[in-house]
Structure 1
């Protein structure tokens, strides 16, 4: 097994904050659907009081990166002006991918 595939399979946790016109446009629903389509991802997507959407996701590094790429450049509802993310060690907080 190559180092790259080991990194891609490594369990990861990513928290992303999405800025733009992302509330009231179905953004959370589409984010959950995309996470489920990627497969193997657990977490939560929620609206924040300042107009951003927060996405907390755990799964393989590759799966998390695919969701992040979609958040940044995918066919998302509304308008994404920017995404900021941090990476961390998985905590196992979620059993599914839910909308709050």
Structure 2
């Protein structure tokens, strides 16, 4: 059985690779793209939707309208989304604390 985070990381690596292919070979050419804030907001929206879908699936599983396999898959996707979000939050907090420790 594979680690659920591995799938999320692999998906992120694939998206980064696809985004990198769109970067022009000439570094003087600048293509407009989503800002860091827009990418972060989109990722947060996708995470919230994953958690909501997991909740809906769990409720449907409790009522017996969905098989256990789908409930487990949705729960694992929800868990991995939350783990990645917490890891990103931890890194942001660490970076902020490092900035606060810098002498001016």
Q: TM-score range by the shorter chain?
A: under 0.3
Point out the structure with the larger helix share: 2
Q: Which has the higher contact order (CA 8 A, sep 6+)?
A: 1
Larger Rg: 2
TM-score, with length taken from structure 1: 0.27
Point out the structure with the larger strand share: 1
